Amino acid sequence: MKFCTTLFGSLLILIQIAQAAKNNVKHVTSIDQFYNICNNANGSYTMVKYYTTWCHHCKRLGPIYEELSDLYKNVEGDDNVTFLNVNCEIFGSTLCVDLPGFPIINLIKPLDKPLNIKEFDWNSLSFFERIWKRIYDKLYLKNPYWQIDPDRIVKYQGRRDVEPLDNFIKTVKAKDELSKKVSSILNPNYHCSDADLFCKEGKIYLLEFLEQLDHSKQNGDKRDAIFKERMKLENIIRNNEKSVDKDTLQVIKLKLELLNTYEDTIQDVQHDEL
């Protein structure tokens, strides 16, 4: 029975691979393949669709997902997105084990730091203990490279059509890029390039605002000043979003993100003092 199930799963994968050659979606054939793609070193995002063949909504999503992937077919560099299909009838007890239903669509952000791999001391085990551990790890899927930081996973919860799905990808990528820019600006050792006017303006704003905060001796006063500044910037966006040009709007959003991040550092310092 187990052999028949394995054979059926293998045939199903081969059929899916043949179909995938016609579009930009890759069908996952192994757990190693899944994590190798999601934890790639080229900085690309990974869109993952978890599905089953018996799910009605999964069947409707199929051609929509393929059409979405075609939008990124010839895109290279940082804008590239890899599209994966995970059949949860095959990977139900592994890659799909914690999913609440089907279909599920997740966008996985690129690695921003190396995987935390703890090297095992094989020398501490006897010959037979090493053999047993390798068998155990294989049976119970204890591969240290099979990991994804939950902070990298963004679940899609909108309407399952091409346009909202594409907007979802672009929004996540834009927020991610903004967060990276803020980290660079907050780093005193990071120097903006001459061409990066966005970064330079953020550095200038941060220095000017920090100078104002220096007059606020207590953390409570600093948070109050940050709150007032945030309200001012949010009002500018709210009242002028349609009339303000795109670059100005991006600068204001950058300032807001800088405020939020800086406020978090104040709270962290306060918790440490307690």
Query: In this structure, are 38 and 135 located in the same domain?
Result: yes
Q: Of 122, 145, 174, which residue is a domain's last?
A: 174
Decide which of 174, 208, 237 is a domain's last residue: 174
26 domain residue, yes or no: yes
Closest CA to 51 of 75, 70, 77, 28: 28
User: Tens digits of per-residue pLDDT, 38-50?
Assistant: 998 888 899 999 9
Domain for residue 179, yes or no?
no
> Per-residue DSSP letters for 123-190?
GGS-HHHHHHHHHHHHHTT--TT----GGGEEE--S--SHHHHHHHHHHHHHHHHHHHHHHHHH-TT-
161 shares its domain with 247:
no
Above 80 in pLDDT, residue 247?
Answer: yes
Is position 183 within any domain? no
The pTM score is 0.78
pLDDT more than 70, % of the chain: 82
| Amino acid identity at 41 | A
Per-residue pLDDT of 75-104, as tens digits, reads 776 678 999 999 999 999 899 998 999 999
**CB of 172 within 8 A of CB of 107?**
yes
Q: Are residues 75 and 136 in the same domain?
A: yes
Same domain, 265 and 235: yes
Q: 189-199 burial by CB neighbour count: b if 16+ within 10 A, else e? A: eeebeeeeeeb
Residue 263 lies in a domain: yes
DSSP string over 146-164: ----GGGEEE--S--SHHH
Q: Are residues 43 and 159 in the same domain?
A: yes
Q: Tally the domains of the chain.
A: 2
- The answer to whether residue 181 sits within a structural domain is no
Residue with tokens 């600068």: 251
Q: Are residues 148 and 243 in the same domain?
A: no
Note whether residue 216 is domain-resident: yes
Task: Give the 3-state secondary structure of residue 47.
Answer: strand
Distances (CA, A) of 143 to 53, 117, 133, 135: 28, 10, 11, 12
Residue 226: per-residue pLDDT: 86
Same domain, 217 and 127: no
What's the pLDDT score for residue 273?
Answer: 43
Q: 91 and 36 in one domain?
A: yes
What tens digit of pLDDT does each residue of 105-143 get?
Answer: 999 999 988 877 777 666 777 877 777 777 766 655 678
Do 10 and 138 lie in a common domain?
A: yes
- Domain membership flag for residue 25: yes
What is the mean predicted confidence (pLDDT) over 203-220?
78
User: Do 138 and 12 share a domain, yes or no?
Assistant: yes
Claim to verify: residue 30 and residue 153 sit in the same structural domain:
yes
Query: Which domain, by its residues, includes 240?
Result: 191-273
Q: Assess whether 213 and 94 both reside in one domain.
A: no
Domain boundary among 148, 174, 200: 174
Residue 250, by phi and psi: left (phi above 0), alpha (psi -120 to 50) or beta? alpha
- Phi, psi values for residue 17, rounded to 5°: -65, -40
CATH for 138: 3.40.30.10
Query: Is residue 258 assigned to a domain?
Result: yes
